[in-house]
Structure 1
Amino acid sequence: MKTLQNQTLLYDKDCPLCNVYTSSFIKTKMLDTNGRKAYKDLTNEEQNFIDLKRAANEIALIDNKNKTVIYGIDSLLKVIGNSMPWVEKIGNLKPIKFGLKKLYSFISYNRKVIIPSKEDLTQTLKCVPDFNYKYRYIYILFATLITSIVLFKFGKLLHIIPESNIYREGFIALGQIGFQALFISKLKFQKQLNYVGNLITVSLMGSLILIPVLILNSLLIIPEVVILTWFGLTVLFMLYEHVRRVKILELPTYLSATWILYRVLILLAILSL
């Protein structure tokens, strides 16, 4: 790979996703060994010419020689395009760049609910994106849709429960949000949406874990006991992940108990049909 010299990417050190893709730029030599820097480690001089608020929302690429900065998808296209010019050329086409910008914003504004991290109160500079209601609502609806589709498909493999439909699965996914909302109603609305974002991410993760079984079952017949076992292990993982996220968010631990209660009530309701 052709190395982009004298350029430094700012990244959120508390974001595992940011850590992975910026370190991959170093490992593949798209950037030199000093090609990334944690947002929290910015010097006073750097803070004078960097838009700190924008850099928290969109990854910033600093030109160390000219002291100029570009942000977001432009930063990524420049880093990748230095090694693969065709990527930058295609990425800068107006309709494609428009889509990339929207996708980038979708991920960036929701990164703290996709992969949460405990807030470090000792940090002066915090790389926390603005709270964007539009992208949070879109994320919740997107994750709910994917979860509903996967559970509908997976439900067809389980003959011990009544036949499902996508509307029922969507109702169950949204019902979980409504049920949990009863127990967080006293929190500030943004904190409620942060929890809901994490809640639906747990459901999305569970549905993604089920997809390999759907693919494999399309190629060969999987015994239902194996499918049930996989489903049970998936639910246990989801419970673990929910407990972990509740702890990170410093929310009441009983939210995991109500999470279980809702699922038990739904199962009983389905079996009684």
Structure 2
Amino acid sequence: MKDKAIIYDNNCPMCALYTEGFVKWGLLEASNRIAFSQLEQQEFIKQVDWHRAKHEIPLVDIQGGQTLYGLQALTHVLSQKIPWLPTILQYKLCYTLCKGLYNLVSYNRRIIIPSTKTGSAGFDSTPDFHLTYRIAFILLAIFSSIGITYAFGQSLNTLLASTTGGLTMLLIAGTGWVVQLCLAGIFLHEKRMEYISHLAVIMLLGVLLLVPAICLSWVTKNIYLPIACLSVLLSSSLMCRQHYLRIRTLSLSQRWTALWFMVLQTTAFFWIYQLYFN
């Protein structure tokens, strides 16, 4: 596709990754993958709506044709390998769902994979804050985490000689998150929403590491203690690392990392003691 150029937010690791994938998959010429910070005074940049480009990646026709944005731009690129994709998106329900998913990711991309940079060659490519998409993203992360945590607890039923492992795991692992969310709501002010958003991502990343153990338990009808312990250890390590990095991105004190870790461990030990030793 030599007559099209995609202009991407190079301060967004996610944008950089998937546009590089387009080049590797042969969907886009390397020279036609242009970062905001690398823009020169090409004639075609006059075709770009820069405010819209903050939220929807632009695909520019170098010959002066129509500029495509967002879902339409990605569909045009991907249709080279997936020719039936435009046909699917002609159905209103499919288009609405895909458009909503695109916006959900686009408006929250700096939360999903944070960047410490804010601008590109005088152009601030940071997406505007959109309350609806932010709350939708937080709720999606929370409910996904609840589901995966419950499933992990259920997979431990054999080890615990119990039939309520899912609910037990939600109490042990989830109480600390609720407490931390409340503390953030009370004591953080300007950065309250940003911190809660990052906390939702950390939670989701952590439970995703439990999915292989859950799948294994479904296959073997059992879960082995070393695998369960390793999954929890890897999950905890990833979350600690992510919390530290994201707190640094937010320019908050690492006391929040220490508080978060203490709250999670304290509430977990409280429920373990109450349920198994009291």
Q: Same fold (TM over 0.5)?
A: yes
In structure 2, distance between residues paired with 1:196 and 1:259: 12
The alignment of Structure 1 onto Structure 2 pairs a total of residues equal to 266
2:161 & 2:201 partners in 1: Cα distance? 27
Looking at structure 2, the residues matched to 174 and 142 of structure 1 have their Cα atoms a distance apart, in angstroms, of: 16
Residue in 1 aligned with 2:55? Answer: 57
- CA distance in structure 1 between the partners assigned to 2:57 and 2:261 by the alignment: 38
| 2:124 equivalent to 1:126 | yes
Structure 1 residue 31 corresponds to structure 2 residue 28: yes
Which blocks of at least 5 consecutive residues in structure 2 are unaligned?
none
The corresponding residue for 1:218 is: 218
Q: CA deviation at 1:183?
A: 3.6
User: In the alignment, is the contact (CA less than 8 A) between 1:179 and 1:262 conserved in 2?
Assistant: no
Indicate the percent of aligned positions where both proteins have the same amino acid: 28
Q: CA RMSD in A?
A: 2.4
The residue that corresponds to 2:83 in the other structure is: 85
> 1:162-187 CA deviation, whole Å, 9 max, x = no partner?
845287466654433113333423xx
2:27 is paired with a residue whose SS is coil
Matched residues in 2 for 1:33 and 1:237: separation? 33
C-alpha separation in 1, matches of 2:183 and 2:176: 10
User: Any residues of structure 2 matched to 1:1-273 within 5 Å, and which?
Assistant: 4-43=1-40, 45-66=43-64, 68-120=66-118, 123-156=121-154, 157=156, 159=160, 163-165=165-167, 168=171, 173-185=177-189, 188=190, 191-220=191-220, 221-271=222-272, 272-273=274-275
TM-score by length of 1: 0.88
Unaligned stretches of 5+ residues in structure 1: none
What amino acid is aligned across from residue 38 of structure 2 in structure 1? D
Q: For each residue in 1:51-110, what CA deviation from the matched residue of structure 2 results, as whole angstroms up to 9, or x when unmatched?
A: 111001001000011153111100011112244332122223322111111110011011
Q: Deviations over 1:2-25 (max 9, x none)?
A: xx2210111111222211211111
165-174 or 60-69, which deviates more: 165-174
